[in-house]
């Protein structure tokens, strides 16, 4: 009797391998024309992100990490190539459509938290759902707030919260709507190492428990080690990839790219 890939126990249990891709980019390029010369910020990137997988994007400064994330998330337009979110091709969409798509289907976590200072933690978490006139899943809200340890602080303004607590609010806000993908741009860049580790553990748990798909840009090999997979960019091209990374392995691969 033959064994098919579908029946393989590891293939079935590894979401990074078996789940259909949530985000697919093909032949993605982004060229800046500076007059005297052209900068190829992205130079033909093909990449997929699968449901429930936590992926880190790394690479030397100027390698194209932010450009890639912005093009994937519909925050920037590519010069050529395609990006799909599920069955939806987002390249070529008009601004208004992109705004709706980002609001309804994508979660964002930024280095600088991006909370509204006049709103409490609870109001910040609920704001995107209110703007989108979405019914809030109360059980999911309670679960997420509980997991990130914000239950006692929901009525605080951001100014009364530590950086780590503010980022937990941003994580809860990003996860509440169960978006198809969460993009995190240096989410621990402004945090001390303990708060950073907590945030990364929450992100990691959300992929395991809630099957959340997360794509994170980071400079930090320790942060990247929380991911299932690390992809490396150099000069706008994908040049390396590691699964089940350790901080040491990621550091060594990065060092290779910088020489
Ligand atoms: N608006 C722009 N005009 C011209 N060149 C740009 C522009 N934005 C980015 N670039 C160039 O595109 C390339 C990729 O930039 P990008 O910010 O994506 O890199 P990065 O890997 O995120 O860098 P860092 O780690 O320093 O944040 C760099 O050479 C950068 O100088």
Instruction: Give per-residue pLDDT as tens, 124-135.
Output: 999 999 998 999
Residues 110, 163 contacting (CB under 8 angstroms): no
Q: Is the CB of 55 under 6 A from ligand 1?
A: no
Q: What is the pTM of this model?
A: 0.91
β-strands 237-243, 229-234 pairing: antiparallel
Residue 45 has a pLDDT of 98
**Mean pLDDT calculated for residue range 34-60:** 95
Average pLDDT over residues 145-153: 92
Backbone φ and ψ of 106, nearest 5°: -130, 145
Residue 4 has pLDDT above 50, yes or no: no
Residue 136 DSSP code: P
Q: How much is the pLDDT for 7?
A: 37
Q: From the CA of 3, how far away is ligand 1's center (Å)?
A: 47
Separation of alpha carbons 244 and 230, rounded Å: 8
Asked if residues 109 and 185 have their Cβ atoms less than 8 Å apart, the reply is: yes
Instruction: Render the burial of 172-194: b for 16+ CB within 10 Å, e for the rest.
Output: bbbbbbebbbbbbbbbbbbbeee
Interface confidence, given as ipTM, is 0.97
Q: What is the mean pLDDT of the chain?
A: 91
Say if ligand 1 is within 6 A of residue 66 CB.
Answer: yes
Is the pLDDT at 18 greater than 70? The verdict is no
Q: Is the CB of 41 under 6 A from ligand 1?
A: yes
pLDDT of residue 218: 96
d(CA 17, CA 208): 14
| Residue 253 predicted with pLDDT over 70 | yes
The share of the chain scoring above pLDDT 70, in percent, equals 93
Q: Ligand 1, atom 29: nearest CA belongs to which residue?
A: 62
Split at pLDDT 50, 70, 90, the class of 3 is: very low
- CA-CA distance, 205 to 183, in Å (whole number)? 16
- Comparing C-alpha atoms, which of 223, 215, 115 is closest to residue 165? 115
The pair of three-digit structure tokens given for residue 45, joined into one six-digit string: 């990137």
pLDDT for 121 beyond 80: yes
For the chain, the first-to-last Cα distance in angstroms comes to 50
* 3-state DSSP assignment of residue 233: strand
Q: Could you tell me where the DSSP H helices lie in the chain? A: 9-13, 15-18, 65-72, 95-105, 121-131, 138-147, 163-176, 193-209, 221-224, 247-258
- In the predicted model, is pLDDT for residue 8 greater than 90? no
Q: Directed axis angle between helix 193-209 and helix 138-147, to 10°?
A: 140
pLDDT digits (tens, 9 = 90+) for 52-102: 999 999 999 999 999 999 999 999 999 999 999 999 999 999 999 999 999
Q: Where are the domains of the chain?
A: 49-77+91-258
Provide the 3-class DSSP secondary structure of residue 76.
coil
> Is 32 a pocket residue for ligand 1 (Cβ < 6 Å)?
yes
pLDDT for 17 equals: 53
Q: Which residues pair with 32 in a beta bridge?
A: 39
Which architecture does CATH list for 49-77+91-258?
Answer: 3-Layer(aba) Sandwich (3.40)
The model's confidence at residue 258, banded by pLDDT at 50, 70 and 90, is: confident
Look at residue 9 in the predicted model and tell me its pLDDT: 36
Closest Cα to residue 87, out of 28, 27, 26, 23?
A: 23
């Amino acid at each position: 009797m033959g064994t098919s890939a579908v029946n393989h126990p590891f293939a079935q249990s590894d979401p990074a391998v078996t789940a259909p891709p949530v985000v697919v980019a093909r032949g993605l390029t982004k060229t800046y024309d500076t007059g005297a010369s052209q900068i190829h910020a992205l130079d033909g990137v093909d990449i997929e992100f699968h449901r429930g997988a936590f992926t880190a994007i790394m690479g030397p400064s100027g390698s194209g990490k932010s450009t890639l994330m912005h093009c994937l998330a519909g925050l920037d337009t590519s010069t050529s190539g395609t990006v799909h979110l599920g069955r939806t091709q987002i390249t070529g969409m008009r601004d208004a459509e992109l705004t709706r798509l980002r609001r309804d289907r994508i979660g964002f976590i930024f280095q600088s938290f991006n909370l509204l200072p006049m709103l409490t933690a609870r109001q910040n978490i609920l704001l995107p759902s209110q703007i989108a006139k979405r019914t809030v899943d109360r059980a999911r809200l309670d679960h997420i707030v509980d997991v990130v340890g914000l239950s006692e602080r929901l009525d605080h303004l951001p100014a009364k919260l530590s950086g780590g607590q503010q980022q937990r609010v941003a994580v809860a806000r990003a996860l509440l709507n169960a978006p198809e993908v969460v993009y995190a741009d240096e989410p621990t860049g402004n945090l001390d190492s303990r708060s950073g580790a907590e945030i990364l553990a929450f992100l990691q748990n959300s992929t395991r428990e809630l099957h959340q798909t997360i794509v994170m840009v980071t400079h930090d090999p320790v942060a990247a080690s929380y991911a299932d997979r690390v992809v490396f960019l150099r000069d706008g091209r994908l040049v390396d990839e590691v699964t089940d990374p350790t901080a040491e392995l990621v550091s060594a691969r990065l060092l290779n790219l910088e020489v």
